[in-house]
Chain A
Amino acid sequence: MTTTAPTRPEAPEPEAPAVRTRRGLPRFGGTGLFVAGLVVAGLLTALSGWSWGLFAVYGIVLGTLVTYVGSRVVEGPRKATDRLVTCLVSSAFAIAMVPLVSLVYTVVSNGITRLDGTFFTNSMVGVVGEGGGAYHAIMGTLIITALAALISVPIGLLAAIYLVEYGRGKLKKALTFFVDVMTGIPSIVAGLFAYAFFVIFFGPGVRFGLGGAVALSVLMIPVVVRSSEEVLKLVPNELREASYALGVPKWRTITKVVIPTAIAGLGTSVTLAIARVIGETAPLLVIVGITAATNFDPFDGRMATLPVYAYYQLTQPGVPPQFGIDRAWTAALVLIIIVMALNVVARLISRFFAPKTGR
């Protein structure tokens, strides 16, 4: 009885240190240690001649090392490993951002010199050296991509509808699997396929725009199918069932209920598929070729396209080379702008045309 009374007030005391023994770094201790490592790395780099590449390598290695050792001393091995992984994983992300930033910087700084009116209004007819533009290539890209979309979107959408609404059994399984596999077909093989197909009808050395559209369709169809399928799957089954319950036939249900509900997602997926193929170079190099003049007729003769134009201006710039190389960079810049614009459009479509769910 008497012994319990003194122990009671003592009880919290052994507990308090027990909690306290879980020593930890202060709130921003890990970051602090990493920055300390960075500073050391900065000094080291400055001593051996400054370069950003060297600083990044030293910084990541030393920062991680200092954090690990510091944490191991204060917090023990488990927490230290945790911090080590945090450092590595964050560095990996930072490393991946370097090429993106570098690429955008390189293309913009090199491409800005020729981003002028002439570039968008002139073709390359009779151009040696200065001047010249990519009007013919931009038009060619637009025509061929539009044709490719015209072929791919109906086929891709119908196939997606088949997969979601009608498909069952072996055909559905096979189609799902092979559409997935088809997304991995190398673009150059698609170009060779188009060549091998049309050479039967038109003879060796065939080059024309429609062939490019067919090659792009081989690449575009699986993308359209996959993304449209995902979108159509999101349409709630209740909507379909409600429509069936009212006696609406299945095809009217699909065209009047399912597709309108999913229209925003379908628009997004088609736009993204276009963005995916508009920058394709290899198939067009094989089946469409390049020309200096403007050709609006995809059924006859070579056409210029923006990616192929950029490739040839860089690798065969002519004399003096600088003008060709400048045009090539501007073409690359325009290409990136088009692709980014399509991506933005795709996001806007999904934002503004999304059905009101009421939730």
Chain B
Amino acid sequence: MTSLDTQRRKDAQPPKPVRSPGDRTFAGLSTGAGILILLVLAGVAAFLVSESLDAISAPAEDIAGGEGVWAYVGPLVFGTLVAAVIALVVATPLGVAIALFITYYAPKRVAATLGYLIDLLAAIPSVVYGFWGLAALAPAMVPFYAWAEDNLSFIPFFAGPASATGRTMLTAGLVLAIMILPIISAISREVFSQAPALHREAALALGATRWEMIKMAVLPYGKSGVIGGSMLGLGRALGETLAVAIVLSVSGGVTFNLISSSNPSTIAANIALQFPESSGLGVSTLIFTGLVLFVITLAVNMLARYVVNRRADFSGAN
């Protein structure tokens, strides 16, 4: 009786619940799984570092290219950034426009289906995008490159000579743009649809047109979501491997010329192309470039998550 009473009193205080052995096991298991995930992330960094130490400490002339790891990774970082920036510049306005179309322009009945169609773009494996870029997009871009060389060659991006195959940096960037489009539009869609209904209705009631309503009530609200979404897209574009490896015709070097057939490679594509035939120090060098890629994407993703989460803290919708 007394024990039951104390039991009851204990139950009445929520901070100290009764923990049966089963309960403790289960709590331990699930907490362990959470900690394991954090350990894996730390392990990714640790093992990449430990395997790339050979390349970092090796004499410069032993590294492919003969000028050390940093000179080896430099042009690759450049190529990675160029491809990702092209993708971002193309995909962000498109993604935001698509998100607006689905949330505020398309008829309500078909909007969900249209959103599903865009999400399908995200489901297609990257190797298939590479196939498509090589077989369909690259040939389709050839006339444009020829035209750009003739008419726009005063812009450094279009200096030419135009590639005859279309396997250029611009094509690779466009393929990446299509691949990150669903990410940007999905996150933008989410924040746009959360814009407070009262603000929107107030704008419309004051006689605003649909665009004015979006400009005044939706876009300011969704701004950080759009920024965060495009940075997540950037993170994906930086790390995308096979599509670039298949589409891009690589010759190394640093150039801003986007339409010629000699292009800098990207880190990820370079690993995919070189790794199967590498051994010893070559493998270590490639793992080092992978580590650089990991650090870059980690930084971009953390910044993106920070921006998105900050919005969540302040938004009235949650």
Q: Residues on A close to B: CB < 8 A?
A: 53, 78-79, 81-82, 84-86, 88-90, 92-93, 95-97, 99-100, 102-103, 106-107, 110, 154-159, 161-163, 165-167, 171, 174-175, 177-190, 192-193, 195-197, 199-200, 204-205, 218, 221-222, 225, 249-252, 254-255, 275-276, 278-282, 285-286, 289, 307, 310-311, 314-315, 328-329, 332, 335-336, 339-340, 343
Contacts and interface: CB of A to CB of B under 8 A. Distances in A.
Contact of A181 (B22, B33, B302): B302
19 contacts: A79-B209, A81-B211, A92-B94, A99-B121, A99-B178, A102-B137, A103-B128, A161-B30, A163-B34, A166-B30, A171-B31, A181-B41, A181-B301, A196-B287, A221-B37, A329-B131, A332-B127, A335-B127, A340-B123
Given A86-B210, A186-B240, A186-B268, A96 B33 contact: no
B221 interface: no
B259 to A, nearest CB: 16
A167 B297 contact: no
B239 A185 contact: yes
Interface stretch (B70-78, B95-103, B160-168): B95-103
A314 to B, nearest CB: 7
B126 interface: yes
Given A99-B178, A328-B131, 14 more contacts: A92-B97, A100-B117, A186-B241, A187-B241, A188-B241, A189-B294, A192-B286, A192-B287, A196-B287, A251-B20, A281-B126, A285-B272, A311-B127, A336-B125
A96 B127 contact: no
Interface residues of B, number: 93
B77 to A, nearest CB: 14
A148 B301 CA distance: 24
B290 interface: yes
A282 B125 contact: no
Contacts of A100: 117, 120-121
A354 B301 CA distance: 34
A343 B123 contact: yes
B69 interface: no
Contacts of A93: 97-98, 101-102, 106, 114
Interface stretch (B42-50, B56-64, B150-158): B42-50
A184 B300 contact: yes
A188 B290 contact: yes
A304 to B, nearest CB: 13
A53 B140 CA distance: 9
A329 B132 CA distance: 10
Interface of B: 17-18, 20, 22-23, 25-27, 29-38, 40-41, 43-44, 47-48, 50-51, 93-94, 97-98, 100-102, 105-106, 114, 117-118, 120-121, 123-132, 134-137, 140, 178, 181, 185, 209-212, 214, 232, 235-236, 238-242, 246, 268, 271-272, 275-276, 279-280, 283, 286-287, 290, 293-294, 297-298, 300-302, 304-305, 309
Contacts of B25: 251
Contact of B33 (A90, A162, A197): A162
Given A190-B44, A279-B127, A185 B17 contact: no
